[in-house]
Structure 1
């Protein structure tokens, strides 16, 4: 009986009992590490699946609203574009009417030819005639965000892209070489025109242009082209081509057609009201 009682009271060997007690005290008892790791991984996967499912559900719920807003924005842009086109057509009609009335009135004083010349030089009327066609385009390998640019004088990185200051020099060089009228990508330039930058885009009178930039200049084609090539601005364009890969082509044209400027408004000058002044 004493043997049976000892077995019942001490079912585990003393060594096993001590090892179990030591594991419990060290916090290593319970499930094995591999099992705990698998359970943790499973719990993480379940949580990630829940997050993805909830996000997808929210995206599906929000998609119709986003699509509707996008369609409304597109419709609004189209309406405003149509309205702007109508206004430009009206402006063109009124400009033609005003020009006709001016010429009719000046005929009586013999000043019609002078009025036409002033309109051409001011960009107020469409013109056509011989001249040069200059195409300026970005380099083939043009990118954004380049580093270490020797041209970087106003915050732009050298990416082989044509900049607003480049087009400013080109246009000024053509004027100085004898151009009588100039346009860039169909935008007629006047004494009030501005060539500026907005990010990487070039703006002409606040209208964005995209490369290639086609510059049309009316004048004595052969003389105009030769003078521009030899000018400081023509040499500057050659340097851009040789050093940065900017692509250019200059050709003489027999008949170029340039539109009138969208608006020619003198904002500061006022007619004199004093008698005997000019």
Structure 2
């Protein structure tokens, strides 16, 4: 007798409507994972309960007491050391404040001594310089200067990066970037001197015959003082004439080429009133009698030879 197909529905046994969803049916019928069920069974059986033997209870109690003792000792030590740490910190703050006040007092004393030395130098030059004291002081940068002149601002190019890897500028050892280098600033200052400037300063640093413009990494130093861009160069002289002479000089053309080739930003303008400070410190290198017009000796003292100050003052290395 042929067997009836299992997919055919009968009155005695009709196929389940969800017969084609056996996976979903299995998930619904066994929603609890077997591992969770086994763990629940062990807990009900008492496998994961607290230790029941006396020895186990003693070990557990000893561990808890030891942990509590460690925490208590740590808290007590921290509480005991807190005043000591606070006291040491306050003592350190007091020492820093005291040393700072002492350094400020020494700085004020140094400024006062410098001013006193400057006054004594001026008095000596006026007494023995026979009228040349003011000129020597001006050439040496010992006095502040005010008069017509020019203002030249030199700044790095926009979005310039330090340490580019392009070719060198001409024959010099500088990266082919839009950053102003010490050699560039040297040429600018020397160009102003040769164009007729009587006194020059860079970022309020007065230049003298002994001034030096050097580099320390990417920083530019003027007399060992680091400067940051933009570099503002002030020069006292005939403003319009000085600006025209500088633009036509070799150094002025060099600055223009830096602007065109590397994007260095420059701005040159004549000013009716330019103020330059005195040099921060001057050292008398030589002081010897200089014969005057009538044959009598007169004393001149300045940084370097008095007769060479004007010459070396118009040149910065």
Shorter-normalised TM-score: what interval? Answer: 0.5 to 0.7
Structure 2: runs of 5+ lacking an equivalent: 1-84, 299-317
Q: Is the 8 A contact 2:168 2:174 kept in 1?
A: no
Match for residue 119 of structure 2? 96
After TM superposition, give the deviation of residue 95 of structure 1 in Å: 0.7
1:256 corresponds, among 262, 274, 297, to 274
Distance change >3 Å, CA 93–CA 272, structure 1 → 2: closer
CA distance in 1, matches of 2:99, 2:155: 33
After TM superposition, the structure 1 = structure 2 runs for residues 180-191 of structure 1, keeping only pairs within 5 Å, are 180-191=198-209
Pair 1:199–1:99, CA change in 2 (3 A)? same
Structure-1 separation of matches of 2:100 and 2:165: 37
- The answer for the alignment partner of 1:240 in structure 2 is 258
Count residues with an aligned counterpart: 206
**C-alpha distance in structure 1 between counterparts of 2:200 and 2:167, whole Å:** 31
Q: 1:168 & 1:75 partners in 2: Cα distance?
A: 42
Change (3 A) 1:177 1:85: farther
How far residue 115 of structure 1 moved from its aligned partner, in angstroms, is 1.5
Q: Deviations over 1:214-234 (max 9, x none)?
A: 000001111111000000000
The TM-score normalised by the length of structure 1 is 0.65
Q: 2: CA distance between counterparts of 1:154 and 1:236? A: 13
CA distance in 1, matches of 2:167, 2:112: 44
Superposition TM-score, scaled by structure 2 size = 0.57
Cα distance, 1:81–1:175 mapped onto 2, change above 3 Å: farther
Describe the superposition over 1:127-160 as per-residue Cα deviations: whole angstroms up to 9, x where unpaired: 1100000000010121112112231755432231
Contact 1:150 1:158 in 2 (8 A): yes
Distance 1:75 1:149 in 2: 52
Aligned position for 1:87? 110
SS of aligned partner of 2:288 = coil
* 1:167–1:75 distance in 2 versus 1, CA, 3 Å: farther
- Post-superposition Cα deviations, 1:33-67, rounded to whole Å, max 9, x if no partner, equal xxxxxxxxxxxxxxxxxxxxxxxxxxxxxxx9xx9
Q: How many Å separate the matches in 2 of 1:120 and 1:247? A: 31
Provide closer, same or farther for how the CA distance between residues 247 and 186 of structure 1 changes in structure 2, counting only shifts above 3 A: same
The correspondence for 1:167, drawn from 185, 193, 208, is 185
In structure 2, the residue matched to 1:134 is 152
1:117 to 119, 135, 139: 135
Contact between 1:88 and 1:262, CA under 8 Å: does it hold in 2? no
Report if aligned partners of 1:138, 1:212 keep a CA contact under 8 Å in 2: yes
**RMSD across aligned positions (CA):** 3.2
2:270 counterpart SS class? strand
